[in-house]
Amino acid sequence: MKVLVTGAGGALGGLVAEQLSAGGHSVRAHDKKTISGSVGDLADLTHVQHVVAGVDAVVHCAAIPSPVDHPDDEIFRNNVQSTYNVLDTAGRAGVGRIVYISSASALGLAWSQLDASPIEAPVTEDHPFVGDDVYGLSKQVGETIAAAASRRWRTTIVSLRFPFIGTGERLEHHLKPIHDDPGVDRGGLWAWLDMRDAVRAVEAALTVPLDGHHLLNVVAPDTTALVSTAELLGTYHPTAVITRPFGEFESVYSGQRCRRVLGFEPIYGWRGVVR
């Protein structure tokens, strides 16, 4: 399979491109910055048409990844325009499978300046956007673009909502402040996923037989915290309606739909156990 991977200069996109190549796929790596592959601006429709031509599948990782370090209008314009260009152009060209890398931030919780809380928990893919930041908004709009492109062009698109992704030193650096003070990750709902599992999820989204658009939470089954999930929610999100009891360290995000649609289960953990 010939696969276009956008954002291949980033940590996730680079590893996805590497693993797909190792698995025997022909990979067209693309980034806005200089890499060993195709380079250019995905906001340029003519460039996107050239980049998409001839591929069988697309993994769209490219995005400004947070609401910091760039003006709000630049973040929205870059993330939304590039996503529309890539997904619509790929669908129009008859590309049969597209994986859109969304984010748990698409609910508006992670970067909220107003300390938004989930309405209910576990948090499923049907939870509405409750935030106020431009990055979360851009990812929410990206998911709507994915659904529309899938309907219009009758192509299969899988939108993967990833939380914080990391392994090794990056993960350790993320965990330490949370263990010292769980409140620092109030907006992230203490969700995480090992980078290797994220790549596995992308591979599954590319290959599992599917039709239409599927929006999926892809999270580790546990939190990043040393405090129970019930205590975390009671302390930091007391207004959230708890719809069922949680396991001791169970993730606030539901991964049920991902398990059902992709048959995917994370296998890497940080609590001293690798399943």
Stated as kind and residue range, the H or E segment containing 76 is helix 72-92
Per-residue pLDDT of the chain (275 residues; tens, 9 = 90+): 999 999 999 999 999 999 999 999 999 999 998 777 889 999 999 999 999 999 999 999 999 999 998 999 999 999 999 999 999 999 999 999 999 999 999 999 999 999 999 999 999 999 999 999 999 999 999 999 999 999 999 999 999 999 999 999 999 999 999 999 999 999 999 999 999 999 999 999 999 999 999 999 999 999 999 999 999 999 999 999 999 999 999 999 999 999 999 999 999 999 874 33
CB atoms under 10 Å from CB of 161, counted, come to 24
CATH architecture of 2-114+123-167+191-221+252-262: 3-Layer(aba) Sandwich (3.40)
Which sequence spans correspond to the domains of the chain? 2-114+123-167+191-221+252-262
pTM higher than 0.85 for the full model?
A: yes
CA dist 184 to 104, 178, 180, 188, Å? 17, 6, 9, 9
Q: 């195709």: which residue's tokens?
A: 38
Per-residue model confidence (pLDDT) at position 33: 86
Per-residue model confidence (pLDDT) at position 273: 44
CA neighbours closer than 13 Å in the CB half-sphere of residue 225: 24
Q: How far is CA 139 from the centre of its chain?
A: 9
Per-residue model confidence (pLDDT) at position 275: 36
In whole angstroms, give the CA distance from residue 268 to residue 115: 30
